[in-house]
Amino acid sequence: MAETLRLWRHARLATCDAAARRIERGALLTRGARIEWVGEEQALPAVTPDESHDLGGAWVTPALIDCHTHLVFAGNRAAEYAERLRGRSYADIARAGGGILSSVRALRAASEQQLFDESAPRLAAFLAEGVTTIEIKSGYGLTLEDEAKMLRVARELGRAFPVTVRTTLLAAHTVPPEYQGRADDYIDAVAREWLPALAHAGLVDAVDVFCEGIAFSVAQAERLFAAARALGVPVKMHAEQLSNLGGSLAAARLGALSCDHLEYAGEAEAAALAAAGSAAVLLPVAFYCLADTHKPPVAALRSAGAAIAVASDCNPGSAPGTSLLTAMSMATRLFGLTAEEALLGVTRHAAQALGLAGQRGALAPGAAADFVVWNVGAVEELGYWIGFNPRRTVVRAAEVQRWPNQKS
């Protein structure tokens, strides 16, 4: 059966492709689930579409991509946040057995169904803002079975909701109690046993490691990355968040898809990431919630030509937020991104951070026909409103989504 040819006309387009064009009188042609043609409406090829949609002159962008979340978790850490408000540091709480480990205890005690039920409303909040691709990490299980449980829930969310879920194994998030004082043995177990088992079960799209004084060293990260490479699994890194251990230089050298956080990175790291084609993922909600003051090297990333992405980092500790639009606002105000950079950060560059460059995150021929029609007068409004959602209609795989739209 021939794939449906759809015309989407009378639109203002922010293409977010390599040319990052703004087209005032634009149109899109989609065939099946992909974009076939994008351009000025007056230059439309002479075809007879099966369906035609008049978008009423509204702004259209690629659907949003959240390329870094820990969305599947149990309970919350509001009590720790209250402690931090009284002056205790995140690292201090972590060293005392709280932090990530307190979410590990909650996750291990939760059933798969509970985990799904707690995570689903968070996912729904992202989708309501026009997200159609989201990365979800493990990292609160820290046993083979509990990491598998988290990743299965992430996959199940992707089946239950109109969203593409990319899963990342972050077993190297912190040393679990069972391996206290034996971080090297833990990395060996993850690299030699867990990663192959979970990858063969189809649960792992990428591998991540928290490279930090309170987590894992560069040498340990490199061992895990070598195991991932042997399996053909791409790698990513939480790097230079609280200090500079040299993680991002190593990750760039090993061709990581992305390095994330980067508050303590500098010019050398920016140049290395740009040269390697590793996306620099900025996580301003964590910066905000930790009352951090050390900013990522945005000017250096910009001048090196790095792909700067912006993500929510949704997690119960450092970033309890479910709004990618708010992350865009924080990336502009707190880190100095331009409105255009913030938009590319949640579209084209976020796709690159997930290894989906060219397939998603741009209005371009060959890309997925995932896009959002917005109730805005200018696309700059997307990183401007705080707590207001200007989404009009979400189109995924060229289908107008009945949910989460009020009307379609």
Q: Is 236 or 391 the residue whose CB approaches ligand NIG more closely?
A: 236
Is 244 among the residues that bind ligand NIG (CB under 6 A)? no
Q: Is 138 or 329 the residue whose CB approaches ligand NIG more closely?
A: 138
Q: Is 23 or 170 the residue whose CB approaches ligand NIG more closely?
A: 170
Binding mask 164-203 for ligand NIG (x = CB under 6 A): ----------------------------------------
Is 284 among the residues that bind ligand NIG (CB under 6 A)? no
The DSSP string of 275-308 is HHT-EEEE-HHHHHHTT------HHHHHHHT--E
The Cα-based distances of 401 to 123, 136, 397 in angstroms read: 15, 22, 9
Is 316 among the residues that bind ligand NIG (CB under 6 A)? yes
Q: From the CB of 239, what's the least distance to ligand NIG, in Å?
A: 10
Is 100 among the residues that bind ligand NIG (CB under 6 A)? yes
Q: From the CB of 124, what's the least distance to ligand NIG, in Å?
A: 21
Q: Which helix (H) or strand (E) holds 12?
A: strand 5-14
Q: From edge to edge, which strands make up the β-sheet containing 391-396?
A: 34-40, 22-31, 5-14, 51-62, 371-374, 391-396, 399-400
Question: Residue 103 touches which of Fe ion, ligand NIG, none (CB < 5 to 8 A by kind)?
Answer: ligand NIG
Question: Residue 61 touches which of Fe ion, ligand NIG, none (CB < 5 to 8 A by kind)?
Answer: none
* b/e burial code for range 147-173 (CB count within 10 A of at least 16 → b): bbbbbbbbbbbbeebbbbbbbbbbbbb
Tell me which residues in 295-354 interact with Fe ion (CB under 5 A). 313
Instruction: Decide if 399 contacts 165 (C-beta within 8 A).
Output: no
Is 405 strand, coil or helix?
coil
Is 370 among the residues that bind Fe ion (CB under 5 A)? no
Instruction: Give the Cα separation of 27 and 42 in Å (integer).
Output: 9
Is 312 among the residues that bind ligand NIG (CB under 6 A)? no
Q: From the CB of 64, what's the least distance to Fe ion, in Å?
A: 18
Count the Cβ atoms, other than its own, within 10 Å of residue 203.
Answer: 18
Instruction: Give the Cα separation of 104 and 171 in Å (integer).
Output: 11
Interacting span for ligand NIG (CB under 6 A) from 20-28, 96-104, 141-149, 269-277: 96-104
Length of the chain: 408
The token duo for 337 is: 């991104």
Is 210 among the residues that bind ligand NIG (CB under 6 A)? yes
Instruction: Give the Cα separation of 322 and 96 in Å (integer).
Output: 27
Which of 61, 133, 168, 315 binds ligand NIG (CB under 6 A)? It is: 315
Question: Residue 329 touches which of ligand NIG, Fe ion, none (CB < 5 to 8 A by kind)?
Answer: none
Instruction: Decide if 239 contacts 260 (C-beta within 8 A).
Output: yes
Instruction: Give the Cα separation of 239 and 311 in Å (integer).
Output: 15
Q: Is 242 or 363 the residue whose CB approaches Fe ion more closely?
A: 242
Residue whose structure tokens are 């200090």: 243
Is 99 among the residues that bind ligand NIG (CB under 6 A)? yes
Question: Residue 318 touches which of Fe ion, ligand NIG, none (CB < 5 to 8 A by kind)?
Answer: ligand NIG
Residue whose structure tokens are 């509970």: 114
Binding site for ligand NIG (CB under 6 A): 70, 99-100, 103, 210, 238, 241, 286, 313, 315-319
Binding site for Fe ion (CB under 5 A): 313
